[in-house]
Structure 1
Amino acid sequence: MYLQRRLLCCAIASAMAAPAFADQANELKPVQIIGDRQSTFSISGSAHVLSNEDLEEKENTDVHRMLRDVPGVYFQEEDGYGLRPNIGIRGSGRDRSSKISLMEDGVLIAPAPYAAPAAYYFPSAGRFYGVEVLKGPDTLRYGPFTVGGSINFLSTPIPARASGMVNVEGGEDGSQRAHAYYGATEGQFGFMLETHQQRAQGFKDIDRSNRDSGFDKRDYVAKLRWQAPETADIQQAFELKLEHSSEVSDETYLGLTDRDFENDANRRYGMSDIDQMDNDRDAVSLRHTLVFDENTQLNSVVYRNEFNRNWYKLASIGGQSIGGFVADANANGGTKQAVLSGAADATDLVFKNNNREYISEGVQTELNHRFQTGSVDNDLIVGARYHQDEVDRYQPTDTFDQVNGSLVYQSSTLPTGGDNRLENADAVSAWIIDHAYVGDFIVTGSLRYENVESKSKRWGDPARNTVSSRTENRNEELMAGLGATWLLNDNWSLLAGVHQGFAPAGASSQKGTDAEKSVNYETGFRYWQENFSADVIAFYSDYENTIQNCSIANPCPNGNDFGTQSFGESEVRGLEVGLSSVIWEGDTGLRAPVRLAYTYTDGEITKDADDLSVLEGDVLPYLPEHLASLTFGLEKPAAWSALMSVSHTDGMCIDNSCDRPGEVTTFKRTSDYVIADIVATYQVNSDMEVYVKVDNVFDDQEIVSRDPAGARPNKPRTGYVGMKVHF
């Protein structure tokens, strides 16, 4: 049938990391892992695409808000702006997005995805051109984290003709945003220059301080492309991408006690006055596309990312971690509550320079070849990557006393041990993916090999003359996946898939610490037509081994804030529902679009950990049972639109022990919360539009997180006005 043949072509095109050269004489598109929304119809796993149009209609700059439109994706808010995203997929964990493969244009973006995957760096979401979320057997193509899935962010492509865009926005709390790009293609050459700059004074008030609680973040991107002329014997292209970003944000790990949260959710304790994150990132990638013929193409990329950051922040009070200090103040009030409020003096307030340098670099190549065996069409993908990364920590501390509510400097200490260490990892990956088209069936077979060797050493003296300890570990795994899609007719398809999941242990893990492993199943159906589409997919993940990379922000159940803990077996099951429709369309072109994303999840530990820090029946932290987002409104294309998005997030346990019989859960759960955002856009002419948006229109603030250390709110009601001009 015609539609099936068209879907087949879309599936093949999306499987190729870059489109056929014959179709890109004027434009080399962003590197996609799925393609457009229609391409998801034929994938044997959950797949969702947020197009540039989808992103522009809401003008979000917080990636958490963007991903509410995708079922099966979870998040834990932290600062209200999405500066440090915590994203998980299908129960994989959400700690700094460290259990999913995060990419931009197909290249891993975490500062050190193998050695230290917690993503303290995140690109400015306001400059994204599109977002792709992939789960199921096809994720074996995009490791190293194949337990949950992969997210690929698309950058702005080089324009086919001389053109550009300027977007300026202002709002409450001193919010300012500017996004601009300009580029052109002339003959064999193309270029694009882009900047995204965003700042705010913040919505929290710091006790006894004149400093704000905001941020200033700046991204710069440059692209240069050369493409062989159409008459050349060899069709090929090179694209160089350069990136620089910087961020200064007056953010802290210190949250609030519940009693203070109830009185003023936007309060910040004065002892966090001097906390500040300062980071810089430089990245370069060189991509090469070589087209042998209409059926064979080779795509390669060499990349290097350097990320330097220092989060200077309060770490402990009187020898106790700030998390433990807030927990005691919650439970008992008294002196510790008075210390936090500044009403009582305190000694030995330790502020740590969380100073780290990251390097991530590698080369990856992928051959795409289409061929036919009898009546079976095949799209074969063979790829490999060599990657190495490291994180160098040199973290001196300063000690202050709190006297009459003010910080008084006492001394400084140079780092040793865990604060003076180097962690690195070398990884070799290889994968084979075959999409076989057999009549009305698309069968996907996947294999992935990962070999990760990690090392860590600590110095016993600040000058690094004496090594105090060394650790090393190795994780090696061969994973397989099998999926099938049955194209029933022009509108319906059924899908089913199974694949092995893998997440390597961090670089500080002890020798013999195994990787996280799981077997993941899913099945469901899709329906597609011009004004209505639906995805309903059930999933089940059986974890043979569950691991957590320990950190100060998210200590492991055994109390460690470094290394990796391996604990228990677990199961995660759930249901994802995605609907998109135009429920009404008038004769004048007026439309009423609706989009729904809903996820039900049930996860629990099914076997005790060896050290009994995690027990059978324990829950998985920060995993909501129900998560839903509904977007609806009215629009007249090329004239105006008005949309409202309403999202609901269930309250979540913050640790594994939350629901144990007899356990007091008062301070171990977040709140249920509902957030409504609205945005209205008016098209002044074909090149200019103005918009108004209000986040959290009903000004409902709840405890959305209790990590790193205390109760934390979502952003309050905040209004913005913006203007966008294309030229």
Structure 2
Amino acid sequence: MRRFTLNPLSLALFTTLTTTAGGAFAEEKTELLETVSVLGSSEHTEKLPGSAHLVSAGELEKFEFVDINRMLRTVPGVYLREEDGYGLRPNIGIRGADGGRSGKISLMEDGVLIAPAPYAAPSAYYFPTAGRLNQIEVLKGPATLKYGPFTVGGAVNMLSTPIPGVSEGSVQLETGQYGENRLHAYYGDSTETTGWLLETHQQQADGFRDIDRGGSADIAKEDYLVKGRLKSVADATYAQQLDIKLQYSEEESGMSYLGLTDADFASDPNRRYGISALDEMQNRHSGLQLNHSIALSDSFSLNTQAYYNKFKRDWFKVGLGDLIDDANSGDATAQAVLDGEADYDFGIKHNNRKYESRGVQVSADWQLATGDIEHDLEIGLRRHWDEVDRFQPTEEYSQIDGALLFQEVRDPSASNNRVEEADANSFFVYDQIQLAEQLALTATLRYEDVDTTQQRYNSIDRSEEGSSRSNSLSEWLPGLGLVYEVNSEWALLAGVHRGFAPPGAGSDSGVGAELSTNYEWGARYNRGDLRAEVIAFYSDYENTVQNCSIAVPCPDEAESGSYQLGESEIRGLEASLGTQWQLAGGWFVPLAASYTWTEAEITRDSDGGDLLAGDNFAYLPENVFALTAGLDSGAAWRVNLTAAFQDEMCVDNRCNRGAGDRFDHTESLWVVDAAAHYDFSADLTGYLKVDNLLDEQAIINRAPDGARANRPRTASVGVRFIF
């Protein structure tokens, strides 16, 4: 694999510009120009009729995480299924919505859709580099109707580093076990009318999985970001701001879908079979985003965002799930093949795909009053198009005496030689209405209109067309939410909204969207030094749709298209608590906890009889818990500790029907992470972090091919210099 040099000067190859994180519900003219944030600040979440969580820059800095799974696991209502130990391709679910490849959430960066093809192929095989993120916003409930298209669960908006208000820069260097090295550097400046930022994040590791006869599964990822800004002078009649952002990243990683048999996992969870030694992901992502905002008055602003994203990947990987199943069942020949002791012929497919997405979204924010009733009215339109182009040949190999010998290239079948497109128009009206001093009503209406096509080709040059599919659907999605402030500390909330998720471009004509009616109710408590929230949620799905992929095959074993699970119900409870104790001598003890309980089941037999009423949801834990505590001297040093628990999960929809076996479940797991910081000066900070402090490993994933473990204990040291 090609290695790269951590060189901050290579930033200069790229250029961008974006808005800083500002308030989406702001009241001052200057704040009305900020468009990339969906929450704005933690204070704004108090006014929302649903659960919302802001993972701030300060929270991210406590543990210096570079894995999005670790960054999000303290957020209630969020489920995470690890896969590679580094969070390169996360599986994020919200409130029971399927987490496979994060394909059922509205995934955004700086306020625009960031999944490679969110309508045509919603499985997010690209994910923004988590180590460069400045903040993360998670939104659930009726307010998600503003963002879409996925409103069954929620939205995750990731904010990149903002352009600094003054000349400012930072260089962070980190090194650790398993050959891990990281550089994160940025520099920027602003004047009254201009601003800019240059940034890079570069990461490499040898990996913690040892490949039989093949070394380790290494990682090399580099990311570049440039931002710029033009804005009007302070006393301009109409305050305006134009932002542009250019981003480029590339990755080479020795990642595989091939796991282990349970017996081999028990012996060494970090082993990988030599037959997967050639597995590797190569990808490149580039993106352009333009934001323009104008405040036409103190109460009316217009925001426009145009975006273009391109993603190319080739995941060269073997699929040998049947061998794992056979070996788990006691087949000695299958085990010998995995061990490299028996000869075997097999294919490695180039999962080669090109994605494009582009769109324009315009929103108007108008603050007005009708009599004594105040409105914060927002109206928005989005025009979006995306495409995925698959051309996936297979290379034939033979394993002979443990060595992998190339034989020939097999041309792709029609199913691996296809183009899928989606054309979508959406519209929303969002009105936050202050009915009385203590009572606020939020009314939302969204419309989605989606056309998808799939064209397969029978010839390599695509001169001969094969089968084709097309589908069209449109839905109106209403939502209502109430927030009642009982007093200065207590608030009650309730909401209901229509959940929606498009089925993807591989669906046949007439296949409907995933639709649900989502309810929530709860209470918030805020005493300044103590914050707490408890929210119950219930989702009634009239049509549950699973997008099929190699990573997450459908119940009928399909690896493309979609599968309708039918009617189902999800119920759950989210709770969070945050406080900080001040001790004698200026010491502080911050404390935060979150808990999610979820129960889900299919409530009606599927038409084909594959699924029955009472069947469970796959990869949905019943209990998720996280506790974070710290000790801050108030001066030079601070220590933080976080402990997270996740229940075992069923790996398919049928594992609760009867006896089953141990291969139907993952394992529950406690993971403890720790980090300590010391400020040598106001500009220089050093830190030591240990991920998985207790070195606990368990089977956290079995999809698609065998048992895989979470990351083992990994210690790293780093330094950050601010200038």
Q: TM-score range by the shorter chain?
A: over 0.9
Q: 1:488 deviation in Å? A: 1.1
Which of 573, 576, 582 aligns to 2:574? It is 576
Which of 116, 125, 133 aligns to 1:128? It is 133
Match of 1:10 in 2: none
What CA deviation, in whole Å up to 9, does each residue of 1:391-439 have, x standing for no partner?
A: 0001111001110011111111122311100000000000000000022
Which of 220, 231, 237 aligns to 1:233? It is 237
Match of 2:298 in 1: 294
- Verify the 8 A CA contact 1:416 1:462 in the aligned structure 2: no
* % identical aligned pairs: 47
Match of 2:154 in 1: 149
- Verify the 8 A CA contact 1:30 1:157 in the aligned structure 2: no
What is the distance in 2 between the residues matched to 1:16 and 1:455? 38
Q: Does structure 1 residue 535 correspond to structure 2 residue 533? A: yes
Runs of 4+ in 1 over 3 A off after TM superposition: 13-25
Extract unaligned runs of 5+ from structure 1.
Answer: 1-12, 316-321
What CA deviation, in whole Å up to 9, does each residue of 1:130-163 have, x standing for no partner?
A: 0110000110001000000001001111110010
Match of 1:412 in 2: 409
Which of 698, 703, 707 aligns to 2:703? It is 707
Q: Does structure 1 residue 403 correspond to structure 2 residue 381? A: no
SS at match of 1:552: coil
- Verify the 8 A CA contact 1:147 1:520 in the aligned structure 2: yes
What CA deviation, in whole Å up to 9, does each residue of 1:451-492 have, x standing for no partner?
A: 010000100111111111000011210000000000111111
Q: 1:332 deviation in Å? A: 2.5
For residue 198 of structure 2, what is the amino acid of its counterpart?
L
What CA deviation, in whole Å up to 9, does each residue of 1:657-676 have, x standing for no partner?
A: 111124x2310100011000
SS at match of 2:540: strand
SS at match of 2:44: helix
Which of 25, 32, 36 aligns to 2:37? It is 32
Q: TM-score, normalised by structure 1?
A: 0.95
What is the distance in 1 between the residues matched to 2:277 and 2:606? 40
Q: Does structure 1 residue 198 correspond to structure 2 residue 203? A: yes
What CA deviation, in whole Å up to 9, does each residue of 1:258-302 have, x standing for no partner?
A: 011001000000011111000001100110001101100111111
Q: Does structure 1 residue 619 correspond to structure 2 residue 624? A: no
For residue 698 of structure 1, what is the amino acid of its counterpart?
L
For residue 354 of structure 2, what is the amino acid of its counterpart?
E
- Verify the 8 A CA contact 2:351 2:392 in the aligned structure 1: yes
Which of 50, 73, 94 aligns to 2:99? It is 94
What is the distance in 1 between the residues matched to 2:226 and 2:635? 30
What is the distance in 2 between the residues matched to 1:14 and 1:489? 30
SS at match of 2:296: strand
What CA deviation, in whole Å up to 9, does each residue of 1:660-709 have, x standing for no partner?
A: 124x2310100011000000111111111111000001111100000121
Match of 1:112 in 2: 117
SS at match of 1:418: helix
SS at match of 1:324: helix
Match of 1:677 in 2: 673
Q: 1:15 deviation in Å? A: 10
Moved more, 633-642 or 708-717: 633-642
SS at match of 1:328: helix
Match of 1:483 in 2: 481
Note the 1:621-640 alignment, pairs <5 A.
621-640=618-637
What is the distance in 2 between the residues matched to 1:495 and 1:214? 48
What is the distance in 2 between the residues matched to 1:229 and 1:64? 42
SS at match of 1:182: strand
What CA deviation, in whole Å up to 9, does each residue of 1:576-603 have, x standing for no partner?
A: 0010011x31232101111101000001
For residue 401 of structure 1, what is the amino acid of its counterpart?
S
- Verify the 8 A CA contact 1:506 1:549 in the aligned structure 2: yes
For residue 262 of structure 1, what is the amino acid of its counterpart?
A
For residue 519 of structure 2, what is the amino acid of its counterpart?
Y
Match of 2:8 in 1: none
SS at match of 1:332: coil
What is the distance in 2 between the residues matched to 1:478 and 1:456? 25
Note the 1:226-305 alignment, pairs <5 A.
226-305=230-309
Match of 2:227 in 1: 223
What is the distance in 1 between the residues matched to 2:658 and 2:648? 18
Match of 1:5 in 2: none
- Verify the 8 A CA contact 1:199 1:215 in the aligned structure 2: yes
Change (3 A) 1:680 1:613: same
- Verify the 8 A CA contact 1:14 1:39 in the aligned structure 2: no
What CA deviation, in whole Å up to 9, does each residue of 1:300-353 have, x standing for no partner?
A: 1110000000001113xxxxxx22221122112311111111111112x10011
Match of 1:78 in 2: 83
- Verify the 8 A CA contact 1:16 1:368 in the aligned structure 2: no
- Verify the 8 A CA contact 1:399 1:411 in the aligned structure 2: yes
Note the 1:145-544 alignment, pairs <5 A.
145-210=150-215, 212-315=216-319, 322-347=320-345, 349-439=346-436, 440-544=438-542
What is the distance in 2 between the residues matched to 1:325 and 1:372? 67
- Verify the 8 A CA contact 1:385 1:428 in the aligned structure 2: yes
Q: TM-score, normalised by structure 2?
A: 0.96
Note the 1:645-724 alignment, pairs <5 A.
645-662=642-659, 664-724=660-720
Q: 1:18 deviation in Å? A: 7.9
What is the distance in 2 between the residues matched to 1:14 and 1:639? 28
What is the distance in 1 between the residues matched to 2:277 and 2:475? 46
What is the distance in 2 between the residues matched to 1:410 and 1:434? 63
Q: 1:529 deviation in Å? A: 2.1
What is the distance in 1 between the residues matched to 2:223 and 2:395? 31
- Verify the 8 A CA contact 1:29 1:157 in the aligned structure 2: no
What is the distance in 1 between the residues matched to 2:35 and 2:584? 36
Moved more, 433-442 or 408-417: 408-417
What is the distance in 1 between the residues matched to 2:35 and 2:255? 33
Change (3 A) 1:310 1:359: same
Q: 1:233 deviation in Å? A: 2.6
Q: 1:640 deviation in Å? A: 1.3
What is the distance in 1 between the residues matched to 2:267 and 2:192? 63
- Verify the 8 A CA contact 1:98 1:119 in the aligned structure 2: yes
Note the 1:543-558 alignment, pairs <5 A.
543-558=541-556
What is the distance in 2 between the residues matched to 1:296 and 1:573? 40
For residue 640 of structure 1, what is the amino acid of its counterpart?
W
What is the distance in 2 between the residues matched to 1:548 and 1:344? 37
SS at match of 1:81: coil
For residue 514 of structure 1, what is the amino acid of its counterpart?
G
For residue 264 of structure 1, what is the amino acid of its counterpart?
D
Q: 1:561 deviation in Å? A: 1.1
SS at match of 1:220: strand
- Verify the 8 A CA contact 1:679 1:693 in the aligned structure 2: yes
For residue 711 of structure 1, what is the amino acid of its counterpart?
A
SS at match of 2:662: coil
- Verify the 8 A CA contact 1:18 1:32 in the aligned structure 2: no
For residue 458 of structure 1, what is the amino acid of its counterpart?
R
Change (3 A) 1:269 1:14: closer
What is the distance in 1 between the residues matched to 2:634 and 2:458? 65
Q: 1:614 deviation in Å? A: 1.2
